[in-house]
Structure 1
Amino acid sequence: MQIWLLPPGLLLVGLALYDALYTTLGRGGGPLTKQLSRGAWLFTQSQTGQRVSGFFFSQLGLVVLLLAIFSWTVLLWAGWTLVFLASDGAIVSATTGAPAGLWSRIYFVGYTLVTLGLGDYQPEGAVWQMLTTTASLSGLILLSLAISYVLPVLQAAVDRRGTAAALWGLGETPEEIIRTMWDLDRGCSAFEQHLVGLTPALTTLAQQHLAYPVLHHFRGSRRREALAPSLAALDEALSIAEHGLSGDCLSPGAFHPARAAIDTLLDRLEDQSTGPSSEAPPPPSLDGLRRDGYPACSDEAYHEALREDVCDRRRRMLLGLVEGEGWDWDHVLDGYDD
């Protein structure tokens, strides 16, 4: 008898099911999944010399997703193995009645969890028969949860790339967004329309990142598919419109919901990344807009406004997010697509 194996075995089973349930039900990820996602993020931070377009980085989201499911399976398998090792006579051969060895019990737990029911080994006694049924049920639950989790995560990854492409379509740089959306003759009604249309998508994306922590690792390998630099370009364009250009172009009804959606998304992403950069990035220049007749403010007033606490922290968060996804701030200001 090795009854002392029973508590740690049940603990591992409980941890696997709790983490799987908490994660797949959209509560923000269980403790194991959060640590796995965080570890993957920190690992990518240590690989700063690699290109963001590399195969590993483009497949990182799928790798982390599969690792999460694999970790649940290993924990559940290991936990039930310890449970059935707690008694020498728990599992016996169906033909000879001899107690099963270690590898036979591992094998028994494996086919029990996937409900194969091969029958060459069987539980001995009512207690172990009930525990076998419970193990089979837990395996069925885990398999169902894993399948139901993969599909919405992959759909959310498609939505993330779609939102990034929509942001890219507004303009490749903050200055280009202003020029595209703000016509000096007809005003910036087009800018407001696009902001109103993008706000629900950004809000939904923030909630998807909260529900599926692994979504943060589904990164675009090309600039036009990358969320972080395009999101930063849009936010910088909003900062130009708010602090760098005189006059009230954007109405509060369009501007404030869009900025709030960006802030909410950044809050969600901050929980899964290394946080804000230590210093704010360089602001976009107003020289080109000023030269072409846009009502630009003085550089002193513009830079002073960007140094305000709320604006400074948001820009540092954007820089940390951009660099964390393998890009640099030049991709925001220059917008070139590799």
Structure 2
Amino acid sequence: MYNYTCLVAGVVILAIVFFDFFYTTLSGSGFTFLTRTCASLTHKIILLVAKVTGRKLLSISGMLVNLVILAMWVLLVWAGLFLVYSFHPSGILNSNDQVATSIQRLYMSGYVLSTLGMGDVKPVTPLFEVITSFFSFFGFAFFTTSMTYLLSVSSAVIQKRSLALSIRNFGKTPMQAVNSLMRMDNNLRCYQLSSLQSMINKHSNFYQAYPVLHYYHHMGVDASLAVNVAVLDEALSIIMHSEGSTELGREVESLRAALDDLLEHLKNRFEEETDYTPDINWASLDLPQGLVGNGFSTGDNLKQRRRILGGLLRNEGRTWDEVYT
């Protein structure tokens, strides 16, 4: 007897998870709705637990999110294949040549996906034999592609940490970064700005290809990209909104453009997460001579940038107090 409900449900589940898996791992364009929802919910749970247990949990949040995503893919493919096999139960026989039970079909589905074979259960219809062969190949492709994807993500995580530390070298606060840039030798400053711009552009592409990077955090502030990007962006805003830094303002325009591109990638994800923008009086900060305080402006563009940066900070469980210490 045929169960078409199981067949339709299984095919739908497999079609959705196939698209989600290959789009996420091979397209270089980010998540689909399924993976994005799974990752977001997992991360929110981690943030809630971290409020009780401390920030140490956040150091493995990216790993946990990736493991949950992989588990979701495996379980959905497993469930979909089981439903397809349940379409015609008598097409699967056990070692006694009797119709396999539901548990035995579930066991066979997992065994086939693991590429280990079929165990002591076997398909006896041509359709199920072809399906079994296909999913044996898919199991191999799934684990190979998953490992390649995770290695690429690991490389992007290292790049993320390197970018945070490179920005940190300019200073731990916007004031220190401004002082560092103004006192730096012109040739060295040009080289440093160019190098940092290249790293930010590269990381913008990583964020678009691997959104899971948003869930990789670090215990220390030094390696926190959210804090250090906020420090750098505030420092450039101070320089570019001052009447006394025209020449330096022109030098940092390219770096500012790279940050614009990065914030544009982050905009849809983080801008709506917070309406809070810090009320910071730049004129009262301890800045080097040559920066004219009455030239500072806090227009809508700066508020929008701070909304995005505020959302990025909150995503890492951090606040603006760690930017303006």
Q: In the superposition, relative to structure 1, how do residues 320 and 59 fare at CA in structure 2: closer, same or farther (>3 Å)?
A: same
User: Is residue 241–residue 249 contact of structure 1 (8 Å, CA) maintained in 2?
Assistant: no
TM-score by length of 1: 0.88
Q: Distance in 1 between matches of 2:261 and 2:50?
A: 27
Paired residues of 2:274 and 2:310 also in contact (CA < 8 A): yes
> Compared with structure 1, are the counterparts of its residues 249 and 190 closer, same or farther at alpha carbon in structure 2 (3 Å cutoff)?
farther
Corresponding residue for residue 320 of structure 1: 311
Count of residue pairs the alignment pairs up: 323
RCO higher in structure (CA 8 A, sep ≥6): 1
Q: How does 1:139-288 map to 2 (within 5 A)?
A: 139-183=139-183, 190-250=188-248, 252=250, 254-273=251-270, 275=272, 277-283=274-280, 285-288=282-285
Alignment partners' CA distance in 2, 1:211 and 1:222? 25
Higher helix share: 2
CA change 1:37–1:274 in 2 (3 A) is farther
Deviation at 1:255, TM superposition (A): 2.1
Distance 2:221 2:4 in 1: 57
Question: How far, CA to CA, are the matches of 2:320 and 2:194 in structure 1?
Answer: 26
Give the letter for the 1:34 counterpart.
Answer: R
Structure 1 pair 37–211 and aligned structure 2 pair: CA distance change class (3 A)? same
Partners of 2:21 and 2:324 in 1: CA distance: 41
Structure 1 unpaired stretches of 5+: none
Distance 1:99 1:276, change over 3 A: closer
Task: Give 3-state SS (helix, strand or coil) of 2:122's partner.
Answer: strand
Verify: 1:297 aligned to 2:311, yes or no. no
Contact 1:10-1:83 within 8 A present in 2 as well: yes
* Higher mean C-alpha deviation, range 130-139 or range 145-154: 130-139
Quote the Cα distance in structure 1 between the aligned partners of 2:127 and 2:46: 47
- How much has 1:224 moved relative to structure 2? 0.1
CA distance in 2, matches of 1:116, 1:181: 59
Matched to 1:33, the amino acid is: T
Deviation string for 1:143-172 (max 9, x for gaps)? 122111110001101110111011111100
1:66–1:49 Cα change, 3 Å: closer
Counterparts of 2:316 and 2:281, CA distance in 1: 21
**What is the CA distance between 1:269 and its match in structure 2?**
2.7
C-alpha displacement of 1:321: 1.4
Encode CA deviations 1:7-27: one digit per residue, 9 max, x unaligned.
Answer: 110111111211110000122
What is the CA distance between 1:88 and its match in structure 2?
2.2
